[in-house]
Amino acid sequence: MTAAIQDIRARLDAFDARNAPTGLFLRYSHGRVSHFWARQVMTLLGSVALVLLAGPFIGLMAGTLALAGEIVDCGLLRAVPGLVARGAEPARLSRLATVSAGLQAATISACIALAWLGVPDDTATAFAMAFAAGAAVNAGLVLPFHRSAALVRLALYAATLAGLFLFEIVTQGRLSQRALFDLIATGIMGYAIYIFLGFVVSGHRRHTRDSRDLLVQSLDLARANSHLKEQQREARNLSLVARHANDSVIMAEPDGCIFWVNEAFTRITGYSLQEARGLRPSELLNAPDTDSAVSDGIAAAVAAGRAHRAEILNQRKDGGRIWIETNIVPVLDETGAVEMVISIERDISSAKKHEAELAEAKIAAEKGERAKASFLATMSHEIRTPMNGIIGMADLLAETQLGAESRHYVQTIRQSANALLRIINDILEFSRLDAGKPVLHANVFSPAACIGEALAILKPQARARGLTLDLLIDGALPDRVTGDDGRLRQILINIVGNAIKFTSRGGVTIRASARGEGTGYRLRFEIEDTGIGIAPDRIAHVFDEFEQADTATTRQFGGTGLGLSISRLLAREMGGDITLTSALGKGSCFTVTLHMARGPDATHPAPALPDRPPDLAHRVVLVAEDNRTNRLLVRKFLKDTPFTLLFAENGRAAVEMTRRHRPDIVLMDMSMPEMDGLAATRAIRAEAPAQPHIIALTANAFASDRAACLAAGMNGFLSKPLHKDDLLQTLAQSPAAAPFPFPPPADLS
């Protein structure tokens, strides 16, 4: 709000306050008090006249009465402003002022009566009427300010004159001609006073109304001027913004023809205002390869008078291509018709280029991920295949008659090979997890059984080091949960195996517990050891990739430092975490928390495996394996079994031999020349009249590889390096060939 508007607003508020009932009353009080001495001049003149006409007594009495009434009335009115300021009720003070006005009018009426009765000749009536007329005019002047006080005064004056005329009629017994003329003169005088006072009141009202209207008009004019200035300032600012904006601004007629562009338009397109005026943007800027659908959409929006946003390829004056983001906004007049069309356009060529680069980078990244996955699969196969030969042959050699020294050598080979395999597994597993989120499978399993299986694997290792391995279950574990039991075993084997490796005396204690959590369970495992412990400054780093407590630990105990990283990543993916507390020289405690969904009702047992025929003599096993060492290894593993063995060196030969020999079981390597194991399996499932039980035999030991095998139609999964016991157990559990369609695969891996 401007200073002028504030000033006029303050003046209008003050005017309204002065003309409100309280304001008028205060003005009445102030006026009566301020004109006190002026009225006393008239009182003095009247008293002197009465002294001359009726004698000193009557003159002094009249003057004394008039002055006493004025003193009482003005004494009250002088105190009114102070009383109002101190919170006195103005209405009550106004009523008191009416009473004091009546008292003051009564004293004046007494003076009129003294003049009427005290003057001996006919001049008394004229003098009394003149005195009354002056008092009435004086009383009527305050009608706009204090109506009740004025009316009380006028009523008393009129009553006094009427009483005097009545007194004269009564005392004389008749209405004399003189008295009649005096009465008529009094009526004429009263009417004149009435007309005069009406003019005074109406004039005051008109003056008040006109004054207020003038103030209101002044306020409206000030507001209009302020609004106009604001509009002018806004228009100037908008003009400056439009002229100096970085974005192009185009103003066009309703038909789309340009009538104004800013400097940014010229800078972006190369066209000046003179060159652009009268043309449509499409006529000026469309390139031969501009998308016609986008251009037609813009034209349709302009014709319909609706807002529109689009990205369009344009051509500069110099022929260069630019991508433009345009926002079209119609400006409507009071009737709703389009007055003009404003287009705000931005050069997004750099963003489009960046978008294309990002798309190319995404494609390259996806290719890189595929190449990485392919490389990991190849590395897994290429490393595990010779490891399969080393470990398998070492196992076969250990079954022969060897001397103590030779057996020690074989045992060393086996231990070194297994250690190397663990390192390879960690590196490949971490690389696969680092490439993307781990794939989790929802299996129904018993937590207690899963823990028992993991510890059964680790007990020989603990026993060999002279350590205890204890399991304590706090409360009852749920019978069945739904989750990835393989990943749970992997975490437990990593953490417990790590504890065994770094403990030389005492043992490892596993405390397991579970509690309900929403629709599932929160499993908690505390793995506490009495091992070497970890220094406080190294605790935060033990979960980092390729990190261990110190280099001496690496030299003494070996390992990649990936086991804990992989375990924590898996735990977090399974809705939990792994934390650690440790003291150097006093051992460590790993706390593992995992979320598992509830399993199905235990009253519905899982279907039992079909009975397996005890006679394996007529089972035909086809081994599809391109590596000669691996074929030799399988032959040695099964040389004392009743199985009939057939061998195929590639996938295509495996399909042909399956069609010709109808084997009961096929050990199918996934990576083979001419046709890989997945393609060969699909071909067998599509062609063979009798369907064999196909078991994947592969060095690609990732969960995704397992899923791919099962999706292709395989029934089981054996990973390399191949162990004799695992192979024999899997073959013993495999059913004979079945006629097509074959029964659903059973997970027997």
For CA atoms 672, 677, 681, 682, the dihedral sign is: negative
DSSP letter at 664?
S
Per-residue pLDDT tens over the stretch 192-234:
888 888 888 888 889 889 988 998 898 888 888 888 777 777 7
In degrees, rounded to 5, the angle at the alpha carbon of residue 501 between the alpha carbons of residues 498 and 502 is 90
Burial of residue 186 (CB within 10 Å: 0-12, 13-18, 19+) is buried
Helices marked H in 270-348: 273-276, 281-285, 292-304
Domain ranges of the chain: 3-218, 245-347, 354-429, 437-598, 620-739
pLDDT at 559: 46
Q: Which CATH fold topology does 437-598 show?
A: Heat Shock Protein 90 (3.30.565)
- Contact call for residues 603 and 728 (beta carbons, < 8 A): no
pLDDT at 59: 81
Per-residue pLDDT tens over the stretch 609-622:
344 444 566 789 99
Q: Please, which residues have CB within 8 angstroms of residue 317's CB and are 6 or more apart in sequence?
A: 269, 270, 271, 275
Q: How far apart are CA 320 and CA 312, in angstroms?
A: 14
Q: How far apart are CA 109 and CA 160, in angstroms?
A: 6
Q: Does this chain's domain 245-347 share its CATH topology with 354-429? A: no
pLDDT at 602: 47
pLDDT at 1: 58
pLDDT at 271: 92
- Contact call for residues 566 and 471 (beta carbons, < 8 A): no
Q: Which CATH number fits domain 620-739: 3.50.50.60, 3.40.50.1000, 3.40.920.10, 3.40.50.2300?
A: 3.40.50.2300
Assign 259 to helix, strand or coil. Answer: strand
Give φ, ψ of 310 to 5 degrees.
-155, 160
pLDDT at 518: 84
Q: How far apart are CA 735 and CA 749, in angstroms?
A: 14
Q: Please, which residues have CB within 8 angstroms of residue 507's CB and are 6 or more apart in sequence?
A: 462, 467, 468, 469, 470, 529, 530
For CA atoms 671, 675, 679, 680, the dihedral sign is: negative
Assign 338 to helix, strand or coil. Answer: strand
Q: Which CATH number fits domain 354-429: 3.30.200.20, 3.40.1390.10, 1.10.287.130, 1.10.10.10?
A: 1.10.287.130
Q: Please, which residues have CB within 8 angstroms of residue 89's CB and are 6 or more apart in sequence?
A: none
Mean pLDDT across the stretch 51-66?
Answer: 83
Q: At which residue do the structure tokens 């060969």 appear?
A: 680
Beta bridge partners of 252: 258, 341
pLDDT at 601: 62
pTM over 0.85: no
In degrees, rounded to 5, the angle at the alpha carbon of residue 28 between the alpha carbons of residues 162 and 93 is 90
Mean pLDDT across the stretch 107-133?
Answer: 78
Assign 612 to helix, strand or coil. Answer: coil
Q: Per-residue pLDDT for 412 more than 80? A: no
Closest to 154 measured CA to CA, from 108, 223, 88: 108
pLDDT at 519: 85
pLDDT at 521: 93
Side-chain-facing half-sphere of 230: CA atoms under 13 Å: 8
Phi-psi region of 87 (alpha: psi -120 to 50; beta: other; left: phi over 0): left
- Contact call for residues 472 and 511 (beta carbons, < 8 A): yes
Could you tell me how far CA 653 lies from the centroid of its own chain?
Answer: 62
pLDDT at 246: 76
Q: What value does the CA radius of gyration of the chain take, rounded to a whole number of Å?
A: 57
In degrees, rounded to 5, the angle at the alpha carbon of residue 712 between the alpha carbons of residues 708 and 718 is 60
Dihedral (C-alpha) 457, 458, 461, 465: value to the nearest 10 degrees?
Answer: -160
Q: At which residue do the structure tokens 């794939």 appear?
A: 439
pLDDT at 377: 62
Q: Per-residue pLDDT for 440 more than 90? A: no
Per-residue pLDDT tens over the stretch 294-339:
988 888 888 888 889 999 999 998 989 999 899 988 888 888 888 8
Q: How far apart are CA 225 and CA 215, in angstroms?
A: 15
Q: How far apart are CA 694 and CA 715, in angstroms?
A: 5
Mean pLDDT across the stretch 487-514?
Answer: 90
- Of all residues in the chain, the percent with pLDDT exceeding 70 is 85
Q: Per-residue pLDDT for 608 more than 60? A: no
Question: Which string of b and e fits 509-541 if b means at least 16 CB within 10 Å?
Answer: bbbbbbeeeeebbbbbbbbbbbbbbbeeeebee
Q: What average pLDDT is seen over the chain?
A: 82
Q: How far apart are CA 594 and CA 573, in angstroms?
A: 9
- Contact call for residues 344 and 238 (beta carbons, < 8 A): no
- Report residue 331 as tokens: 């400006």
Higher local confidence (pLDDT), 433 or 487: 487
pLDDT at 432: 60
pLDDT at 510: 94
Helices marked H in 622-669: 628-637, 651-661
pLDDT at 197: 86
Q: Which CATH fold topology does 245-347 show?
A: Beta-Lactamase (3.30.450)
Closest to 148 measured CA to CA, from 206, 92, 230, 204: 92
**Which of the four pLDDT bands, split at 50, 70 and 90, describes residue 549?**
very low
Per-residue pLDDT tens over the stretch 461-477:
899 889 999 999 888 89
Per-residue pLDDT tens over the stretch 705-744:
777 888 888 988 887 778 888 888 888 887 765 544 444 4
Q: Per-residue pLDDT for 266 more than 80? A: yes
Q: Per-residue pLDDT for 554 more than 50? A: no
